[in-house]
Amino acid sequence: MLELFNVAVAVIAALAWMVIATGWRYATKRPVSGLLLLTLGVLTIKTAFTLATGNTFVYFIQPVFADLAVAAIFLGSLWTTRPIIARLAPEFYPMSAAVAAQPRVRNLLRRLTLMWGLVVLAKGAITFSLLVTLSTADFVLIKGGAIITLTLTAAIVTIVWALIVGRQQGLIQPK
Question: What is the reported pLDDT for 36?
Answer: 82
| Rounded CA separation 146/127 (Å) | 9
pLDDT tens track for 110-147: 999 999 999 999 999 999 999 999 998 899 899 999 99
Question: Which parts of the chain sit beneath pLDDT 50?
Answer: none
